[in-house]
Amino acid sequence: MNEFTINVVLVLYIFSLTVILLYSSHGFVMLYYLKKYGAKKHRKNDSFTHDKKVTVQLPVYNEKYVVERLINSVCELDYPKENLEIQVLDDSTDDTVELLKRLVERKREEGFNIVLLHRDNREGFKAGALSNGLKTATGEFIAIFDADFIPKKNFLLETLGYFTSDKIGMVQSRWENFNKDYSLITKIQAYALNVHFIIEQPVRNNAGFFINFNGTGGVLRKKCIEDAGGWQNDTITEDLDLSYRAQLKGWQFIYLKDFTTPAELPIEMNSLKAQQFRWTKGAIETAKKLLLKVWKSKINLRVKLQSTFHLTNNIVFPFILLVAILNIPILLIKNTGRYDTLFNWMSIFIIAFISSFFLYYKAQEEDHLHWFKRMLFFPLFLAGSMGLSVSNTKAVLEGMFNLKSEFVRTPKYLSAAIKEKKAWNEYMPKSAPMLVIVEVLLFLYSLFGVVLSVYLLNFTAFFFNLLFFIGFGIVSVLSLKKSLFHKK
């Protein structure tokens, strides 16, 4: 490499690591606020009466394996039937439609106020379905459950008591992953999600920052939805979008760390990638839409800064991918010995690793369930994040450049009850061929980096190349596995 090329590689590499360090170090901020506000409790009205009308909305799209479980659990909610309205918001195109007709009719015969609102198109996707249901919803409060959720019987009794003020617009329960032990993939997902649900959400809420309705497992005041401008479909994270619009309007949100709603995690790689893609792209779209409004608002500076980190943290994925690509050129440059002083200074970037480690350590400790053993998942979590960087980089770029894509919902297979592979053929998202090819090439490229690191006796580079090798290997192999061996 000539001098110019070396300088370009070094600048890109250092800039990428700086971005990663910036966002990773935010973990220290979360830990600081956890220590400062961790014990804060929300006020609850224990004498709350059950005379408030509640509408439960169930957005459904081709979910024949789980809709019966969903409807049965909602109909078992401990709440007066006369004050409970259930809307099944169905956009299905398969035999879920007929199944729902039978289920709804049976529940109506049992005395439930339940209606099936079927649309012949998916205009606006989930946001469109929720908006369509809201037109006829009679409830003062709107509870929403996705098809993979199983609300506890006391869900409404527990959450409605926290609406102690007319300014409270939403109460969110913590997701509980009942199939987290299904496979290694689900275990790593549960491990990673703990940071959001056990650290980030309660810390932001207790410290007075904006939080987000997680799209399901929560209750919103109907007036809050309407005052914020209703459900809008110009982003594919309609929940995050509405959350920020509502809080900018002055509505207060409450997060319940100690009350959980069971949910089912994706059980195969393509479904996980589709989910992560949607969350990543939608957050970027929401940042583009609302971040300027956040900074123009009258909220204080600390809330503006925290909102910026919250909405833009997915921007790290292109830089993770760039680091993966530059690892080998950097290894060769370092081996020349000409830049030893620079590389010694670059050891500061290890702070990113330390911050992430302590954040995930604290999340597992707060969960109280074999947290020490679960910390063994940290290297696998890092590798998985690296492996997903190709798909998530595409999501970031689509979000930044307004490239529209279909709302690909996460398929549910009733994983805790069945093992039948035939279910995977109908709903499983297809692998994007070019993305998988890139992942396979990076898998092989990282293998070369591992070998080269050993040859050059650079064990720091060996560790990170090994993580990339494992990450791209897991993601690419599992993406191909379902496509190749579970065809119709």
| Active site residues per annotation | 91, 239
Give CA–CA dist 81/83, Å, rounded: 5
Show the tokens assigned to 158. Answer: 């527990």
Show the tokens assigned to 112. Answer: 């439930």
Give CA–CA dist 151/140, Å, rounded: 19
Q: Cα dist. 167→158, 162, 238 in Å?
A: 18, 11, 21
Q: Cα dist. 184→142, 263, 367, 439 in Å?
A: 35, 17, 19, 20
Q: Kindly give the pairing relationship between strand 218-221 and strand 252-263.
A: unpaired
Give CA–CA dist 286/294, Å, rounded: 11
What are the DSSP E strand ranges found in 61-120?
84-90, 113-118
Show the tokens assigned to 461. Answer: 């580079």
Instruction: Find, among 380, 356, 376, 369, the residue nearest to 176 by Cα.
Output: 369
Give CA–CA dist 320/15, Å, rounded: 11
161 by Cβ neighbours in 10 Å (0-12 / 13-18 / 19+) ranks as middle
Residue 454 · residue 462 · CB < 8 Å? yes
Instruction: Find, among 137, 162, 133, 155, the residue nearest to 55 by Cα.
Output: 137
Instruction: Find, among 276, 332, 304, 364, the residue nearest to 449 by Cα.
Output: 332
Q: For helices 350-367 and 26-37, what crossing angle results, to 10°?
A: 30
Tell me the backbone φ, ψ of residue 95, rounded to 5 degrees. Answer: -75, 5
Tokens 């169930």 -> residue: 58
Give CA–CA dist 101/78, Å, rounded: 24
398-402 contacts, C-beta under 8 A, 24 or more apart: 398/281, 399/280, 399/281, 399/282, 399/283, 399/284, 399/285, 399/288, 400/284, 400/288
Instruction: Find, among 428, 431, 194, 402, the residue nearest to 281 by Cα.
Output: 402
